[in-house]
Amino acid sequence: MEFINNIFVNIAGLCRAVFAWLVGLLHLPDVLVDIAMVAVYWLAIVVVCVLCALFYVVWERKLAGYIQRRPGPNRLGPNGWLQTIGDAIKLVMKEDIVPDGADKPIHLLAALLAFVPPMLALAAMPFGEGMTALDLDLGVVYIMAVTTLASLPVLCAGYASNNKYAMMGALRVVNQAISYEVPQALAILSVVLVAGTFNLNGIIDFQTGHVWLILLQPVAFVVYLISALAECNRAPFDLPEGESELTAGVFTEYSGMRYALFYLAEYCNMFVAAGLATTLFLGGFTGPFLPGWVWFLLKTFVIMSLFIWVRWTLPRIRADYVLRFCWKVLVPLMLVNLLVTGVIVYILV
Amino acid sequence: MLQTLTFFALAGLCVLFALATLFLRNMFHTFLAFLGALLSIAGVFFSLQADYLGAVQVIVYAGSVAVLIVLALLLINHQSGDLSRTNLWRHKWLGSVLAALAVGAALFGVIMYTHVTGWPLPGETAGITPLPYTEIADGLLNHYPVAFEAMAVLLLAALVAAVVTSKPDDK
């Protein structure tokens, strides 16, 4: 039990020992051990990112099938579970079309950069006990900062495509991302106010000592989830790629591998949002009987399934309603929530 | 040693991006270079262990201000953004040179001032523990509340001014 709980920590320790032995053998400076460990953590995060994206793409299609009373993908592999791998291979082998009038370097750069913000965010995510690659005192602020950057590759894509639909989509992405950052930040701030720390592991410790913060901050939890949906451009806020008005929005001029990168990055962004919700509101990796990282994956799985459920239940909202709802409902609501939380914390502490 | 190397790598990157911001012709390329400069400054903050400042630099400047600027630019002059046509100061080179000299002199003065204050320079910060962010909050809200509030009023005034200037004339 204890062994399974610490299996990844032990693997990291083993890697470090091997690197230290190699560095000692070759008389190299000790800094190289740290640099090599950064590479190992980075590799682990890339693997987590890609595996999650591959799994959730097929899980979304399965769940959408159940919701709409149809089988969903059921041909490739056992019960269709290998469908995404087939899709990925298909997309890699497709022709990579770049429009003639496109800004070619930026067209490529946008697809390559799409993965960077979620990977940076996952570096600070506590996957389990002692399983935080970058345990910052300001972990919450750091994750908020790097997720802000997620709209930039999409903006680049919209500009570089030289297509009016892509441009409209990109402008919508930015509008939405900047607006919904405000209620999201306020929701996170309410949690931080209760827990009294910006450190993600500190927030989890607080929840182990008291109760899950979803019970103390239910409004903040709901607002956080809504804002996360809007930031990840998921239905009912998927206006940037609303196919009924903008063809495919930002991704109109993307095909083959480049489109696949954006598609996978969307799921990685959702995984980051779900992981942060788990850590802030649902007690993170803590739980009985099972190892910590299994609990983390289970809780994020529940939140991700909630995102998918919402997508296949609600219709798309009109562009101006999206922003109106943010500024006229969510922001005042969260300001009141913050004020009430502040007063209660001030009285009790 | 490592810190000095990181500093010069990031500083060099920042200067390169800043020069690209000045000399690239395409508006969107300029924006990307500007963004790169802002992010490398955030990197400098992180390498000096000023995590809070680094995060704020990313959130406020790279995440919001830069994006708002490009949004405004794209809405005004969609895609055909050749800066050699849109730059209003292109023919007023004397004023431009004077303004550049004034800003340069001010920056030089600030950099020289660090010798007077004895603030540690990159590479000399090894033994210094970074200021915890609670100290920053304490300083802003307990020691300098007037300055903090004045800043808030200034931002509010800017917001009201933006609303007033962007309102269409209803004559």
Q: B85: pLDDT confidence band, cut at 50, 70 and 90?
A: low
Residue B147 domain boundaries: 131-171
Q: Mean pLDDT for chain A? A: 83
Of A138, A159, A160, nearest to B133 by CB-CB distance is A138
Q: Quick check: B130 contacting A, CB < 8 Å?
A: no
pLDDT for B82 equals 60
**CA A42 – CA B129 distance, rounded (Å):** 27
pLDDT for B101 equals 93
How close, in Å, is residue A72 to chain B by CA atoms? 38
pLDDT for B157 equals 93
pLDDT mean over A124-148? 82
Q: Quick check: B70 contacting A, CB < 8 Å?
A: yes
Do B125 and B135 belong to one domain? Answer: no
**CA A192 – CA A163 distance, rounded (Å):** 42
Do B51 and B89 belong to one domain? Answer: yes
Do B27 and B51 belong to one domain? Answer: yes
Do B81 and B26 belong to one domain? Answer: yes
pLDDT tens, position by position, A296-317: 888 888 999 998 898 888 888 8
Q: Quick check: B144 contacting A, CB < 8 Å?
A: no
Q: Out of A149-153, A196-200, A240-244, pick the least confident.
A: A240-244
pLDDT tens, position by position, A247-286: 777 777 787 788 888 888 888 888 899 989 988 888 878 7
To the nearest whole percent, how much of chain A has pLDDT over 70?
A: 99
Contact A145 B132 (CB under 8 A): no
B82 DSSP β-pair partners: B26
B72: CATH? 1.20.120.1200
Do B124 and B153 belong to one domain? Answer: no
pLDDT for B105 equals 94
**CA A243 – CA A245 distance, rounded (Å):** 5
pLDDT for A15 equals 81
Q: How many domains does chain B have?
A: 2
**CA A201 – CA A194 distance, rounded (Å):** 14
Q: A333: pLDDT confidence band, cut at 50, 70 and 90?
A: very high
Q: Taking 70 as the threshold, does the pLDDT of residue A2 lie above it?
A: no
Mutant choice from B68, B70, B134 vs A, greatest count of A C-beta within 10 A: B70
- Chain B, residues 25-44, CB within 8 A of chain A, namely 26, 28-29, 32, 35
Of A149, A162, A181, nearest to B62 by CB-CB distance is A149
pLDDT tens, position by position, B113-135: 877 777 666 656 555 666 677 78
Q: Quick check: A144 contacting B, CB < 8 Å?
A: yes
pLDDT for B13 equals 92
Partners of B29 on chain A (C-beta within 8 Å) are 106
Which residues lie below 8 Å from residue A60, measured CB to CB, with a gap of 6+?
A308, A311
pLDDT for B129 equals 67
Do B80 and B162 belong to one domain? Answer: no
Q: Taking 60 as the threshold, does the pLDDT of residue B80 lie above it?
A: no
pLDDT for B15 equals 92
Do B125 and B163 belong to one domain? Answer: no
Between chain A and chain B, how many beta carbons pairs sit less than 8 Å apart?
66
**3-class SS of residue B87:** coil
pLDDT mean over B4-24? 87
Do B145 and B113 belong to one domain? Answer: no
- Cis link prior to A73 (omega < 30° from 0)? no
Partners of B65 on chain A (C-beta within 8 Å) are none
Of B28, B54, B62, nearest to A159 by CB-CB distance is B28
pLDDT tens, position by position, A60-74: 888 888 888 888 788
pLDDT mean over A33-56? 83
pLDDT for A210 equals 81
B26 DSSP β-pair partners: B82
Partners of A162 on chain B (C-beta within 8 Å) are 79
CB A49 within 8 A of CB A118: yes
Q: Quick check: A142 contacting B, CB < 8 Å?
A: yes
Contact B51 A142 (CB under 8 A): yes
Contact A138 B35 (CB under 8 A): no
How close, in Å, is residue B150 to chain A by CA atoms? 21
Do B96 and B158 belong to one domain? Answer: no
Do B76 and B136 belong to one domain? Answer: no
pLDDT for B87 equals 63
pLDDT for A251 equals 79
**CA A130 – CA A316 distance, rounded (Å):** 41
Q: Name the closest residue on chain A to residue B50, using Cα atoms.
A: A138
**3-class SS of residue B35:** helix
pLDDT for A144 equals 87
Of B35, B58, B74, nearest to A171 by CB-CB distance is B74
pLDDT for A109 equals 85
Q: Quick check: B60 contacting A, CB < 8 Å?
A: no
pLDDT for B86 equals 61
Q: Mean pLDDT for chain B? A: 80
pLDDT for A6 equals 74
Do B44 and B80 belong to one domain? Answer: yes
pLDDT for B150 equals 93
pLDDT for A133 equals 73
Of B32, B52, B62, nearest to A138 by CB-CB distance is B52
Do B89 and B163 belong to one domain? Answer: no
pLDDT mean over B74-84? 60
How close, in Å, is residue A53 to chain B by CA atoms? 25
Give Cα separations from A78 to A3, A66, A73, A118 (angstroms).
31, 17, 10, 30
